[in-house]
Structure 1
């Protein structure tokens, strides 16, 4: 897979290794997010031992690890009886040579021997400390990495010198990969999300419809069963979690709605929701004007656009897809796709607002997010408490230009937003896929900002 972006992550690793001290970094994140490519790109520039663990018996894992170490130092492979011996052998070697030691898919090793973090504790304390070498532990099982490496009950707790929680690409970052015009790039991102592997699987010389049918709806394609594999990485029995993800993707966003759609009682449901949040598969959101800890007006969303797409269109239609995927696309997915893309468009607009704030295209706002109360909802609201300034934004993914009707509707909704003093400064922004009706900008004052797709692309490009 071609390596893209990750400049900040590479810079962090490079700075750490070039610091005159030992380093112990933890790199983790969801499957397919590009951790292995990041490690390989970093290791390319330095003396390194890169070991990719596999789901194998402990003895074979250990043999391979020692073979890697011996090969790097030009040794004959020594006889090793346990992990403590393996790390002692490695420790003797790094005393005289600064080297990056990267262990990828570390959770596979822990699954075979849960004492491994204790052996690594001794290795870090007694052998790596005092050198200028760098140990990196990397893994896709977020629960294992957080409990066995980062958790306060882990023997390794407090020993790391840094960590990278590798995230999927934002739209701005993914834009380098997506070789479509702006409109189709947003539509495509609404399907693939920001996971690098998913992005690079698409052939951008083909239409989006062709890519969806060949790369997702084909039962032989990698992405057809990808979410199931992703869940099995973390969960022994993913069935209930899958039903929750499907219900959220289909528009059931409050705990009561999810409970009603899945038949899972509220007590167990809260446990499942917390687990899905921990795994970065769903997001819990409260109105931007509310306290995340205190508010009971929470809504849930599937955290990744590809997972939203898959649970909305693929999982409910599996039988039909295996019989006639083209008909499913033409009759079910294609006609409804604008509704799915609209949610991603809101995310992209929010991303553009943040980038606009960073580069002086918008006033300063310290909080940006959705707002709702009862039947009233505003796509994006920005808050600047120090200046008593508030930004109201609507994002429209529609076939027709936006007109004065939306201006009036947005104005009407602002009175329901209880925030700041009556004298607060109110500003407005409209984002529209299809532009704006003739003369609209002349009908409003300079507190309004209008952003079409061309403006959106420029806003996201600022600072590149």
Structure 2
């Protein structure tokens, strides 16, 4: 698999390893997010022992680990009776070494022996700290990594020298992989999101987006056809209710009351499920950007990953039909509604473009950017700059027709409902449009307005950040 991006993470890991003293890094994140490729790329040109854990008996895993250590040092495999002895052996061998020891899928080892973090604590305290070597623990089970490695209750708490919660690629990063033109790249990103494995399954040279969806998602033999179920089983023993919640949110039920009504789950248990899905990075809770995170009751939930949003909107609810006639499902269900899904992703990409413009000092500074709503009024993007009493209002339109004066007047009217800052606040406006703008619109608005088509967005996101 080709290695993409992760430049900052690689630089941080290399700098840490090349600096004097020991290091203990924790790398975690969802399945398919590229953790293993990051580790392999990091280790590629450095002295290292890379151990990939498996779901098998503890004794066999321990034997394989010791064999790998012995093989690296060209040593006879010793007789080892426990993980304490295995790590003692490793500690003796690295005493005078400058070496990376990377253990991938660490949660599999903890499943078989929950005392392993305690043994690793002794290894770090008694051996690793006296060397210039580096230990890296990596895992896909976010809950296990946060509780057994990073959590306050973990014996390893406070011993790490760095950590990475590996995130999906932003649209800007994903453009290195997606080779379509800008419009189709946005459409494609709305389907795959920024998960590297999903991105690289699509053929951007010889296949259209429709062809890729049919072959890589709607085919029952395709990897992505059942991917969400495998993803949830990484973290959850009984994922059925969580699947129902994700499907209801993907279909547009975004408030707790709406989700409860769609799933039949009472509000008490539902709040527990929602918190768990948030912790697993599968959903996000949003409040109006002008509201207080602790006090606001106007929360909405969104599926945090574009591919999961696509799957739970189109694949999960239609699997029986897909088994019989995937082409019909695409033509009658997915294709007509896809612009609505892409429109949601387009809003996120426009936010990304604003942040990138701020970083490059092409845009005025805003410290908070997000959605705003109250009653029937909604604004796609509102940016706040409290230090300057400045506020930005923006709408994002993924439509086939150019945007005209109607949207200008509509946004002006809605902005009057946003209660924030003094009456003398400075107001800025922006419109983002897939199909551009009616002729002469730029002459009809004053200099407090900015107009962006997809070409403008592409230009902003393709240029390297200077800061």
Q: TM-score range by the shorter chain?
A: over 0.9
> Separation in 1 of the partners of 2:378 and 2:358?
23
Aligned-residue offset at 1:130: 1.4
- In structure 2, the residue matched to 1:365 is 366
> Separation in 1 of the partners of 2:296 and 2:244?
26
Deviations 1:138-164 (A, max 9, x none): 000000000000000000001000000
Aligned-residue offset at 1:360: 1.9
- In structure 2, the residue matched to 1:306 is 307
> Separation in 2 of the partners of 1:460 and 1:254?
32
Deviations 1:384-423 (A, max 9, x none): 0000000000000000000000000000001100000000
- In structure 2, the residue matched to 1:118 is 118
- In structure 1, the residue matched to 2:78 is 78
Contact 1:355 1:462 survives alignment (8 Å): no
DSSP 3-state at the match of 1:386: helix
- In structure 1, the residue matched to 2:100 is 100
- In structure 2, the residue matched to 1:454 is 455
- In structure 2, the residue matched to 1:236 is 237
- In structure 2, the residue matched to 1:62 is 62
Contact 1:359 1:462 survives alignment (8 Å): no
> Separation in 1 of the partners of 2:457 and 2:244?
36
Contact 1:83 1:119 survives alignment (8 Å): yes
DSSP 3-state at the match of 1:370: strand
> Separation in 2 of the partners of 1:71 and 1:124?
22
Q: Describe how 1:375-414 pairs up with structure 2 within 5 A.
A: 375-414=376-415
> Separation in 2 of the partners of 1:29 and 1:341?
25
Q: Describe how 1:161-240 pairs up with structure 2 within 5 A.
A: 161-205=161-205, 206-240=207-241
Q: Describe how 1:282-293 pairs up with structure 2 within 5 A.
A: 282-293=283-294
> Separation in 2 of the partners of 1:372 and 1:132?
53
Aligned-residue offset at 1:276: 0.2
Aligned-residue offset at 1:462: 2.8
1:49 equivalent in alignment to 2:49: yes
Contact 1:49 1:101 survives alignment (8 Å): yes
Deviations 1:228-284 (A, max 9, x none): 000000000000000000000000000000000000000000000000000000000
Aligned-residue offset at 1:294: 1.5
DSSP 3-state at the match of 1:199: helix
> Separation in 2 of the partners of 1:283 and 1:133?
38
> Separation in 2 of the partners of 1:291 and 1:349?
24
- In structure 1, the residue matched to 2:316 is 315
Deviations 1:44-93 (A, max 9, x none): 12100000000000000000000110010000111100000000000001
- In structure 2, the residue matched to 1:276 is 277
> Separation in 2 of the partners of 1:113 and 1:229?
23
> Separation in 2 of the partners of 1:402 and 1:38?
43
Aligned-residue offset at 1:30: 0.3
TM-score, length of structure 1 as denominator length: 1.00
- In structure 2, the residue matched to 1:266 is 267
After superposing on structure 2, the runs of 4+ consecutive aligned residues of structure 1 that deviate more than 4 Å are none
Aligned-residue offset at 1:463: 2.2
> Separation in 2 of the partners of 1:463 and 1:204?
23
Aligned-residue offset at 1:292: 1.3
Q: Describe how 1:433-452 pairs up with structure 2 within 5 A.
A: 433-452=434-453
Instruction: Give the total of aligned pairs.
Output: 464
- Greater Cα offset, 289-298 or 166-175: 289-298
1:87 equivalent in alignment to 2:87: yes
DSSP 3-state at the match of 1:451: strand
- Structure 1 gap ranges (5+): none
Q: Describe how 1:420-435 pairs up with structure 2 within 5 A.
A: 420-435=421-436
> Separation in 1 of the partners of 2:112 and 2:93?
26
> Separation in 1 of the partners of 2:287 and 2:462?
29
DSSP 3-state at the match of 1:42: helix
DSSP 3-state at the match of 2:393: strand
> Separation in 2 of the partners of 1:426 and 1:402?
21
Contact 1:402 1:437 survives alignment (8 Å): yes
> Separation in 1 of the partners of 2:196 and 2:407?
36
> Separation in 2 of the partners of 1:88 and 1:24?
17
1:134 equivalent in alignment to 2:134: yes
Aligned-residue offset at 1:366: 0.6
Aligned-residue offset at 1:291: 1.3
> Separation in 1 of the partners of 2:39 and 2:274?
31
